[in-house]
A = this chain, B = another copy of it.
Amino acid sequence: MMKRHGFAICLILSFALSAAAHYVGSPAFNPTLQFLIAAVAIIFAAGFLGKATESVAQYAGERLGGFLNATFGNAAELIIAIFLVKDGLFNTVKASITGSIIGNMLLVLGLSVLIGGLKYKEQHFNVKLAGHNASLMLLAVIALFIPAAFTRSLTTMETQTLSIIVSVILIVAYLLWLFFSMITHKTELSDQALEHGEAVWSKGTSVLFLLLATTMVAIESEWLVSTLEPFSHQYGLSDLFVGAFLIAIVGNAAEHSAAIIMARKNKMGAAVEIAVGSSLQISLFVAPVLVLLSLWFGNPMNIIFTVYELVAIGVAAIIATSISRDGSTTWYEGVLLLVVYLILGIAFYLV
């Protein structure tokens, strides 16, 4: 009880302090200080979010809990991306979409698998869900790859048409996936019945806290992102690297903490749902929605990613699919995911 009160106080104080740092700004708070304060605040908010996710998962099951976490986590990213699209910063949007996809599939999943695997020799999750996830990941890669492969023979107008149609198809496919996995085949894709632990909060409180925690993470992420520019400028980092790695790591803080906590509790199903589910949501839903929204803003964005972005997404999907397809993970498979993330990070840093 004591411990919980202490946590609540830190959570609120750090939030207030980072708000002050954001709105007062320099010279009272220099960029480095702003960055550190925002980062600490996010750590507490992410911890809160992890607890809330866990509590919701106890009522709703691993998968739905994971799905809610992934969705709230991505809502923040969607909001940030909408502002970027409105400003026509398409390269930054695409870099951060790329970063979010590979960050979830490699870093979040990798850390969860590694940290969970250090505690449990082998962790299991629904093998049918793993198979369907793998096929969906491949669809995401294919849907981003085909327009890029055909674009050099297309006019700008045709590329835009292709982008819009592919976007609509992907959104329909994603909604059908939700219908399939949440309704028609819910039982088949769920993990075995969990022995329920003692719930900390009531059902309603859990959902409310999940919402609150996600909002806090979202707001603090935005504040942190706004401190990144002076940083990256100072250290000479490229937009691609900042978008695909720094922003993505910070932006996925919610998924990070929740997924790792789930993995430590041997609820690999929830951890995979958060990490992979989040990647799928971004590639099959968030990205296409941004393409369609850009039309409405009168400044159309196409769905063509750069070769480097496609390489990163393709490589991440292949290794994550290979590791998760059998429905079980070991600590070394976490290492493999992290190694690929590291190699990609260095390559993007140098480009």
> In the complex, what's the smallest C-beta–C-beta distance from A77 to chain B, in angstroms?
24
Given contacts A150-B351, A170-B339, A177-B332, 19 further A-B contacts (CB under 8 A): A134-B322, A135-B319, A135-B323, A135-B333, A135-B336, A138-B322, A142-B343, A143-B340, A145-B311, A146-B343, A154-B351, A158-B350, A173-B339, A176-B332, A180-B330, A180-B335, A181-B332, A185-B330, A321-B322
Alpha-carbon gap, A176 to B118, bound state (A): 13
Which stretch (A37-45, A58-66, A159-167, A291-299) binds chain B? A159-167
> In the complex, what's the smallest C-beta–C-beta distance from A95 to chain B, in angstroms?
15
Query: Who on chain B is nearest to A318 by CB?
Result: B138
Report A166-222 residues with CB < 8 Å from chain B CB.
166, 169-170, 173, 176-177, 180-181, 184-185, 188
The dominant DSSP class at the A interface is helix
> In the complex, what's the smallest C-beta–C-beta distance from A187 to chain B, in angstroms?
9
Alpha-carbon gap, A68 to B14, bound state (A): 56
Chain B residues with Cβ below 8 Å from A229 are: none
Tell me whether A116 is interfacial, beta carbon within 8 Å: no
Alpha-carbon gap, A165 to B307, bound state (A): 22
Alpha-carbon gap, A149 to B308, bound state (A): 8
Chain B residues with Cβ below 8 Å from A185 are: 121, 330, 332
Chain B residues with Cβ below 8 Å from A147 are: 347
Alpha-carbon gap, A333 to B139, bound state (A): 11
Alpha-carbon gap, A136 to B323, bound state (A): 10
Query: Who on chain B is nearest to A147 by CB?
Result: B347
Which 8 A-B pairs give the minimum distances between C-beta atoms? A180-B332, A150-B347, A135-B322, A158-B350, A173-B339, A153-B351, A149-B311, A142-B315
Tell me whether A125 is interfacial, beta carbon within 8 Å: no
Asked if A154 and B350 sit within 8 Å, CB to CB, the answer is yes
Q: A142-B340, A145-B315, A340-B142 are in contact. Are A346 and B308 (CB under 8 A)?
A: no
Tell me whether A87 is interfacial, beta carbon within 8 Å: no
Alpha-carbon gap, A331 to B153, bound state (A): 34
Alpha-carbon gap, A343 to B161, bound state (A): 12
Tell me whether A289 is interfacial, beta carbon within 8 Å: no
Chain B residues with Cβ below 8 Å from A330 are: 132, 180, 185, 188
Q: A138-B318, A146-B347, A343-B166 are in contact. Are A332 and B121 (CB under 8 A)?
A: no
